Chains A and B, each alone.
Chain A
Amino acid sequence: MTATSEPEAALGVLPRADGSAKYSHAGYTVTAAVNGPIEAQRKDENPYEAHVDVIVRPAAGVGGTRERHLESILQSSLSHIILIKNFPRSLIQIVLQVEDSPENDYVNTKLVQGNLNFAIMPALFQTAVLALLSAGVPMRATATATAVAVVFHDGVKRTVVDPSPREIEIARSVHVLAFTSHDELLLAESEGDFIVKEWDEVYETAKKICCHSAPADDGMQMALDEEAAAGPDMRHFLRSTMESKVAADLYWK
């Protein structure tokens, strides 16, 4: 299977939801629908703020503890950027449907129990942010996320951005980091063995990918091309996706 190196996204793909987005990157394809603010169930109702409900559904099989874990991580980090205090007693519902995830050709996977791994987190997170933007839910800032793996190969340490399933299998540690548009760290989840120095390197790599400012003018292009080899420029991607959507929506003006 070919993993696309450049992220792709489409907004407003589902006609009935308040906001929706389809995002694919590094072999992962996720569709999200956002409905909100809507009436909350009695048990979820909070008199001071909106309840953010995140539902992750695997492509095959039923969701289990792994999905619940991903949901709780996403829920807490998204609650930080959505202005939940503006909508007391209401619910913002985010449904993330995994459509495609890269397969490891060297092992036959068990499927009845969904097998979402850590590397899908950035795709889920990015789709959720795009769908929230599409739904027009007020947010404090936008956010971008990426996955970085630390791989030891023949005694040489490498940091791999957007690792493939095979790389995750041999990786010493996998990290998922998300940054807001104010360059603040929003989410840092790690799996595996690592030391603080490694984590600092991972942090720098992730920050470069997530917080790269958009190219100011053509003079900068040359310098940026070299750095672009490290990974995609997520913030620029988010901005250009929204810009093209807005341009298409306001075409009649």
Chain B
Amino acid sequence: MPREAEPSLNEKQFVIQALQENLRLDGRELEQYRPLELTLGDQYGVADATLGKTRVLAKASAELTVPYTDRPLDGIFTIATELSPMTSPAFELNRPTETEVLLSRLLEKTVRRSNALDTESLCLIAGQKCWSVRVDVHVLSHDGNLIDAACFAVVSALRHFKKPDTSMEGGVLTVYTAAEREPVPLSWLHSPFCVTWSFYGEQGEIAVLDATWLEEQVRVGSCTISLNRHGEICQISKLGGTPVEAVALLQCSAVSLTKVKEFSTYLDEKLAEDAKRRNKGGLLAELSAENDR
């Protein structure tokens, strides 16, 4: 497979020098995101997030399975990240690259390990039947900051997703199809988002948000902070690169919080818009068999 072309020496120097003068190639501020757009699908659980030229499609799905024997009370929740040659011909099928491994690990840490989805609620009969929720992340085009876009798409897909309704009567489990009963949403606890910082300069003194692919190739280090809109940090990962001052990192996490609040509001708006679009004539409340909490 052909290797991805690296930026030339002149190009690298130009980008770095511009950043030292507080300028970016696309005219953004250092702490400004590219316009984020989310399209929710006609089906439940399909989210298409676009961040500039980066585009990620996430699809959530659920099916009935047997829980793991060591965790009989928990459902199964997996995030599948596979970069296809669609992203770039440099990626090969069934041969994970470093980008892919890092992306899936970060999503796992952010969404799964922070208990954003209550896996206990996915269990139907202890040790026998549970839901297996799966999110497939498809990267359609990659122009930098894959992590933030993918995390946003995954969280949006899961919040938009509805699984078939079930009922237990006299030890008999019934799973209703979409035609019989309106599907129910997942029990969602909080929405974590990733914010990735890229560092430039000799001591990593220039911190930049939402780097494009070109900017990502010339950075000296990066740091991903995952947090929800209440400011609860789920994880911070800084994998190698130039060491960065602790005070600078604190500053970064403070700015990250304001960004996450923006993401969160935007997602809430989009979900409300989608619910309104589906609920023509206001009949959905009657169709739903779900109880209020």
B→A interface (CB under 8 Å): 1-2, 41-43, 46, 48, 53, 55, 57, 59-64, 80, 84-89, 93, 132, 134, 136, 138, 140-143, 164, 175, 177-179
Q: How many A-B residue pairs have CB under 8 A?
A: 90
CB of A44 to closest CB in B, whole Å: 10
Say yes or no: B1 contacts A41, CB within 8 Å.
Answer: yes
Say yes or no: A62 contacts B84, CB within 8 Å.
Answer: no
Q: 16 extra interchain contacts, Cβ-Cβ under 8 A, other than A93-B85, A93-B89?
A: A14-B86, A15-B143, A31-B86, A35-B89, A39-B2, A55-B84, A57-B84, A60-B60, A97-B140, A99-B57, A105-B178, A108-B63, A108-B64, A108-B177, A111-B62, A112-B61
What mask results when residues 77 to 116 of chain A are scored 1 for a CB within 8 Å of chain B, else 0?
0000000000000000101010110010111111110000
Secondary structure call for the A interface: loop
Say yes or no: B59 contacts A60, CB within 8 Å.
Answer: yes
Pick from B46, B64, B88, B89 the residue with the most CB of A within 10 Å.
Answer: B89
Q: A110 is contacted by which of B48, B60, B63, B88 (Cβ under 8 Å)?
A: B63
Distance between Cα atoms of A108 and B60 in the complex (Å):
15
Say yes or no: A97 contacts B61, CB within 8 Å.
Answer: no
CB of A38 to closest CB in B, whole Å: 6
A→B interface (CB under 8 Å): 1-2, 14-17, 31, 33, 35, 38-39, 41, 55, 57, 59-62, 93, 95, 97, 99-100, 103, 105-112
Q: B84 is contacted by which of A2, A16, A97, A109 (Cβ under 8 Å)?
A: A97
Q: A1 is contacted by which of B43, B53, B64, B138 (Cβ under 8 Å)?
A: B43
Say yes or no: B138 contacts A57, CB within 8 Å.
Answer: yes
Say yes or no: B43 contacts A100, CB within 8 Å.
Answer: yes
Could you write out 16 A-B pairs with CB less than 8 Å apart? A31-B86, A33-B85, A35-B89, A39-B1, A55-B84, A57-B84, A59-B46, A59-B59, A60-B61, A95-B85, A95-B86, A97-B140, A103-B43, A105-B178, A105-B179, A106-B179
CB-CB < 8 A to B64: which residues of A? 108
Distance between Cα atoms of A38 and B5 in the complex (Å):
13
CB-CB < 8 A to B53: which residues of A? 15-16
| Least CB separation from B3: chain A residue | A39
